Amino acid sequence: MVLVLALEVAAVAVVSFLVGAVNPATLVARALGRDLRVSGSGNPGATNAGRVLGRRWGVLVLLLDVAKAYLPTVLVLRSVGLLAALVAGLAVVLGHVYSPFLRGRGGKGVACALGAILAVVPLVGLVAVVVFGVAVALVRYIGEASVVVTLALVVIGVLGLVGVLPWVEPLVGAWLVVLALLVLSRHRRNVVAWWARRRT
Q: Could you read off the pLDDT of 136-171 as tens digits, one per residue?
A: 998 888 888 888 999 999 999 999 999 999 889 999
Whole-number Å distance between alpha carbons of 191 and 69: 25
pLDDT, position 31:
93
DSSP letters of 50-63?
A: HHHH-HHHHHHHHH
Buried b (16+ CB within 10 A) or exposed e, 110-139: bbbbbbbbbbbbeebbebbeebbeebbeee
Distance of CA 182 to the CA centre of its chain: 9
Whole-number Å distance between alpha carbons of 136 and 11: 38
Whole-number Å distance between alpha carbons of 47 and 128: 17
pLDDT, position 107:
86
**For 185-191, what is the mean pLDDT?**
71
pTM (predicted TM-score) = 0.91
Cβ-proximal residues to 148 (8 Å cutoff; 6+ apart), any chain:
131, 132, 135, 139
Whole-number Å distance between alpha carbons of 32 and 179: 32
H runs (alpha helix) in the chain = 2-21, 24-31, 46-53, 55-79, 82-97, 110-120, 122-139, 142-161, 170-185, 188-199
Is the pLDDT score of 70 beyond 80? Answer: yes
**For 2-21, what is the mean pLDDT?**
88
